[in-house]
Structure 1
Amino acid sequence: MIKEIEAKSMLSTSKDPSRWFGVKYTFNSYRGCQHQCIYCDSRSECYGIENFDDLIVKINSAELLRKELSSKRKKGTIGTGAMGDPYTPAEKKYELTRKALKVISDYNYPVHLITKSNLVLRDIDILQEINKIYASVAITITTTNDDLARKVEPFASPATDRLKALGVLSKAGIVTSITMMPILPFIEDNEENIINIVNRAAHYGVNHIVPWLGMSLRDRQRAYYYSKLDSMFPGIRKKYEKSFGYKYSCSVNNYKKLSNILQEACNKYNISLKMPSYEHKLSSVQLNLFDKL
């Protein structure tokens, strides 16, 4: 179900930008997500979204964003994609993310996007304009296997298409990253999957991977995820219940081994395991200027 609403506000301010990819301000033009990933933490009760498969469309989001940015005195990175995908399929019709990016460009703010869709390529023209200051796009990749991705992320772009999108963005000079999270225990936590992701990242010019070798698992999120395990991965649910009980944070069972494999593979290609940020770019420029004095 899609419901259009008039939102009252857009921007939220982070008290600790360094914790969330250097993002100072966040906004979401959509509430809920049509990708219907079986593991999504946003189904949890604490976020107050009754049915995450329903999509709330904030049809006045770009106008509100323009109004709020006009009154901001302190510049900072604007981020979107943490609580819903900015390129959910409805974006093809509404173009709210594209309109928001145009506003961000007009006000000369840096931007950081997280998505599971290659639709981001539609807006590469605006991203290149924003990138005169700073533009960063992180695309989530939890597996390079399209068949598996279709099970766990049913309505997201195929994993291979997301990887190709990263390649296009990288060649265009956009800062690109892979958010390799979550890595699902008993499903994606194997050496082959980790190495494949790193190899594909290197092939497409991605210089940053931000991993979570595990997942969150709580209340409504857990119930929904377990129902999907029962239908698509028979027998796996029992392994979760035995290994994790009612824990919120669930690391993969072979965490140390996979962490070492990931680090070694990234070292091979000089891929960083830290997310870049606009503030880091500013610091680097300032240090370079200082060195030249």
Structure 2
Amino acid sequence: MNLAFHEYRVKKIVNVYKHVDGWFWNKYSAHPYIGCRSGCEFCYLRGTRNLGKRDPETFDTLIQVKTNAVELLRKELGRLQPDVINAGDWQQPAEEKYRLSRAMLEVVHEFKFPLLVIERSPFLLRDLDLLDAINKQTWVGVLLSFSNVDEKLKRAFEPHSPGIQRRLQIMAQLAQKNIRVGASLMPILPIVGDDEPCIDETIRAVKDHGGTFVAASGLTLDGVQAQHTLAAVETYDASAIGLMVRELCAKHAISDRMPRYCGAGALALNKCIAEQLHRQVYELELARASTPRLWAYRQAAWYVDETNENIAAIFETQGEAGLRALPGIGPRIAAEIAGWLSTSTRK
């Protein structure tokens, strides 16, 4: 399969999200390439929403290269408050040719931003020295991307991606450097990859190679493909997968959620509280709670995460009543936050 590169310059490189992601905890993202040589059949980036007017069939044969990614990253990070950034893309042969991701890591290190990496490529290990330096300076979280560890399924759904064992070896080497590493089981493929033995084997492999957490979800689809498929899976219970993953993670003594980097400073505890609220959202999703209840916790998490008010100081001076007076914090959520803060204070 022929591969072509299209070099171009962009006006902006950093995506700034309105709310911190409750799965991966990143506030920002910056990636130097569009398109991917691996060409996984289920990749959500194939959707027209992500590729714009580009032909989705060229997703794995044409790589768009943002040649000014590094200079823009340096310019834009200098204006942003440090928080977790999902940066880089180590796909070969694009990164081997342009080396933009390594240069972007150097900028992340220069500006002391914590780093999130979601990757499949063993080429990531080329930059282990920089990952180690950033981790010692602030924090690095790496998710190795899998749908499962079945080689037959890999050949069918992601024939050009790096091998399963190579990805597990990356995980082991990162863990040896005390870098927080886990697996992104996204998507767990319906019917062919969502049975308990398949998921159990995957989680066990993660644990055996130094992974400390798993983030798992089902298949998402976009565009015309979704129209044909979603009707067929309308009654599929995605929460059952989450519950199965939770039980199997507990069996292998690893987490089914990625831990958050909260940093230091007066508002660090706000981030930890927001993490607990986001975790509660996930608990409620697994319990198939009502949409209004889910949104109550989600909006509370966003408020706590984004306010400049010190939640712990409010609780210390005004008690639970002070928490109830905050926007979007009702009596139930205020009581939960008070409980977490009381426990935190005792520690």
TM-score exceeds 0.5: yes
- Give the counterpart of 1:71 among 51, 68, 79: 79
Asked if 1:101 is matched to 2:84, the reply is no
- Within the candidate set 249, 262, 274, 1:279 is matched to 262
- How far residue 260 of structure 1 moved from its aligned partner, in angstroms, is 3.9
Whichever of the two has the greater Rg, that structure is: 2
Give the structure 2 partner of residue 187 of structure 1: 192
Taking the TM superposition and a 5 Å limit, the aligned residue runs for 1:80-229 are 80=87, 86-89=89-92, 90-132=94-136, 133-212=138-217, 214-222=218-226
**Aligned 8 A contact 2:151 2:164 in 1:** yes
TM norm structure 1: 0.81
Partner of 2:7: 4
Cα deviations across residues 115-149 of structure 1 (Å, max 9, x unaligned)?
A: 12121111110001000210111111111122321
- Report the Cα offset of residue 174 of structure 1: 0.7
Give the 3 Å change call, closer, same or farther, for CA 107–220 of structure 1 in structure 2.
Answer: same
Instruction: From the superposition, tell whether residues 30 and 221 of structure 1 become closer, same or farther in structure 2 (CA, over 3 Å).
Output: farther
Q: Does 1:44 align with 2:47?
A: yes
1:6–1:58 Cα contact (<8 Å) kept: yes
CA distance in 1, matches of 2:125, 2:132: 11
Q: Is the 8 A contact 1:166 1:206 kept in 2?
A: yes
1:4-49 C-alpha deviation (Å, 9 max, x unpaired): 1112111111111143511111111011111100011112122215
Q: How far did 1:274 drift?
A: 1.1
SS at match of 1:139: strand
Q: Secondary structure at the match of 1:56?
A: strand
Question: What is the distance in 2 between the residues matched to 1:152 and 1:76?
Answer: 34
* d(CA) in 2 for partners of 1:49, 1:116: 26
Q: Cα distance 1:271–1:20, how it changes in 2: closer, same or farther (>3 A)?
A: closer
Structure 2 segments unaligned to the other structure (5+ residues): 273-311, 313-340
Note if contact 2:35-2:64 (Cα within 8 Å) is conserved in structure 1.
yes
1:259 Cα deviation after fit: 3.9
Measured at CA, do residues 290 and 30 of structure 1 come closer, stay the same or move farther in structure 2, by a change above 3 Å? same
Question: What is the aligned partner in structure 2 of residue 245 from structure 1?
Answer: 231
Give the strand-richer structure, 1 or 2: 1
Structure 1 partner of 2:25? 22
Q: Deviations over 1:65-87 (max 9, x none)?
A: 01111222x11111137xxxx11
Cα separation, 2, equivalents of 1:220 and 1:35: 22
Deviation per CA, 1:179-207: give whole Å up to 9, x if none: 10101112212222100111101101111
- Structure with the larger RCO, 1 or 2 (CA within 8 Å, 6+ apart): 1
What secondary structure does 1:215 align onto?
coil
CA distance in 1, matches of 2:53, 2:91: 16
Task: Tell me the CA shift for residue 218 of structure 1.
Answer: 3.0
Structure 2 equivalent of residue 232 of structure 1: none
Cα distance change on mapping 1:70 and 1:218 into 2, 3 Å: closer
Counterpart of 1:245 in structure 2: which amino acid? A
Q: Work out the CA distance in 2 between the residues paired with 1:80 and 1:174.
A: 16
SS of the equivalent of 2:22 reads helix
Tell me what 1:56 maps to: 64
Contact 2:32 2:69 in 1 (8 A): yes
Aligned alpha-carbon RMSD (Å)? 2.6
Task: Give 2:106's aligned amino acid.
Answer: K
Say if 1:136 and 1:176, in contact at 8 Å, map to a contact too.
Answer: yes
Decide whether aligned partners of structure 1 residues 130 and 180 sit closer, same or farther in structure 2, where only a CA change above 3 A counts.
same
Cα distance between partner residues in 2 of 1:246 and 1:166: 36
User: Would you say the 8 A contact 1:40–1:221 is kept in 2?
Assistant: no
- Aligned partner of 1:16: which letter? H
Aligned: 1:266 with 2:245: no
Distance in structure 2 (CA, Å) of the matches to 1:32 and 1:277: 29
Shift of 1:258: 4.4
Q: Percent identity?
A: 30
- Deviation of 1:107 (Å): 1.0
